Copies of this chain bind each other. A is one copy, B any other.
Amino acid sequence: MTNKPGIGGLKFNESEVWDRSKKGRCAISLPKSDVKESRLDNSLIGDVPDLPQLSELDVVRHYTHLSQWNFGIDSGMYPLGSCTMKYNPKTNEIQANRQGFAAAHPFCGDQFSQGALKLMHTLETFLAHITGFDAVTVQPAAGAHGELTGMLMIHKYHEKNGRQRSKIIIPDTAHGTNPASASLCGYDSVKVSSGPNGILEPDAIAAVMDEDTAGIMITNPNTLGLFENNIKKITDIVHAKGGLVYGDGANMNAIMGVVKPGEIGIDVLHLNLHKTFSTPHGGGGPGAGPVAVNKILEPFLPVPRIVKETTKDKETYKFITHSPDTIGRMHTFYGHFGVLVRAYSYILSLGGKGLCDVSKLAVLNANYIKEKLKGTLNLPYDLPCMHECVFNDRIQKEFGITTMDMAKRLLDYGFHPPTIYFPLVVDGAFMVEPTETESKESIDQFIDAVESIAKEAKTNPEILKSAPHITKVTRLDEVTAARKPCLKG
């Protein structure tokens, strides 16, 4: 590949922050004290925490250098499957940082929080429209937190019906958070395998669904990037036995305006605002995992809920905490409000039609990559895909090259690698989700890179095995890290 995005350049070593410390420095501006000092009883006072002592410039350089070692969406294509790494618009940051939002105290009272309440309430309505559900809570703090919220509601539902159940059906393609969330509700996961073409088969579900099973957790489109065509049959089977259907909506980016989970038998669904709705992932959160439900489950939504009261002359919004069947509270306050502001801004910026375009183009990009690369990499399921496509290293294995090697080599080419070794059903999975904000040009560059790496796998496998070469550090010893954990300095 001629002129790959990745090249070497000058970066900076940076010691651990305390190695910059020098007794007597302080980087914060100390507010002047205008009242007299009041000493607490000595028995209550502790030693001063031994934090580093730096100047303001020390701090700025330290974190500037650290940032320069990171790869973000603004640095290049980030086709991390199942993560929907789309462009995070800068205007959303401006909105979230407005004093009226950023400085709002959660206990000012409804009367003084109308802006925040209206925003959250409107966002709930938007998300209900997008997913086809009757009610939404924006309280959950992340996708997994949304899953737990949803599963708690299912659990409470069965309890309310007077007979709790003990199991939950989870496909082998599910994300790890699904079974983990179910376990937190005391449900045993019953694993079902997807069929020969990567999607669930009704018979498989029918075979395990019974009156002791609370329901099923389905990710649709699933983590192979395939749409679960039998979803309606499956939900019927589950419903027929009194179970409920949990939908993992992390992949909603594929189907906005095309399919509404609420219309095809899903009872409860979570969304990842930090995926589909462009809020930055921040190197590990914060995200937000709103949960949408149908009428049956609405009574179980967590509190507080937001209601709108319209009198002829004005609208007012308020929190209500009294809700007899609620599962209770999931967050200390009302969820990740700052993240909600960003998602709300994104939805307004795209508009209803824009969101439909998003899904079409996301799916176009994924299918384009699938078609272009399927000769180069093995494609376990050669079917029309949705937002992502999953390859593996079967072809390269013969040269002793693994998915890991190819991923690391992609770093030298200047790309963030795809998600690897997930989903577990594909061994050596190489899971590519381009998202709609990548242009044809950058996608073609990515395709070139993968093709050229596939060539190298034949002609020069060593360069892959020893990759990456131009990053600040190369492959790290994760085994020792886990065997002799060093978790602080």
Contacts and interface: CB of A to CB of B under 8 A. Distances in A.
Contacts of A472: 7-10
Interface string A1-18: 001111111111100000
Contacts of A56: 87, 89
A9 B69 contact: yes
A475 to B, nearest CB: 14
Contacts of A12: 5-7, 75-76, 414
A356 interface: no
Contact of A414 (B4, B10, B76): B10
Contact of A13 (B5, B89, B437): B5
Q: How large is the interface on A (under 10, 10 to 19, 20 to 34, 35 or more residues)?
A: 35 or more
Given A76-B61, A87-B56, A441-B22, A10 B8 contact: yes
Contacts of A471: 9-10
Contact of A74 (B3, B61, B468): B61
Contacts of A7: 10-13, 472
Interface in A47-101: 55-58, 60-61, 64-65, 68-69, 71, 73-76, 87, 89-90
A295 to B, nearest CB: 38
Contact of A4 (B13, B71, B87): B13
A257 to B, nearest CB: 21
Contact of A60 (B3, B9, B90): B90
A470 interface: yes
Nearest to A71: B10
Contacts of A57: 73, 87, 437, 439
A74 B11 CA distance: 12
Interface in A210-265: none
A20 interface: yes
Contacts of A144: none
A414 B12 CA distance: 7
A68 B13 contact: no
Contacts of A87: 56-57, 60
Given A7-B11, A56-B87, A68-B68, 7 more contacts: A5-B12, A8-B10, A10-B468, A10-B470, A10-B471, A57-B73, A61-B76
21 contacts: A3-B13, A6-B10, A6-B12, A7-B10, A7-B13, A8-B8, A8-B470, A9-B9, A9-B11, A9-B470, A9-B471, A10-B411, A10-B471, A12-B75, A12-B414, A13-B414, A55-B437, A57-B439, A60-B74, A60-B90, A65-B75
Interface of A: 3-13, 20, 22, 55-58, 60-61, 64-65, 68-69, 71, 73-76, 87, 89-90, 411-412, 414, 437, 439, 441, 468, 470-472
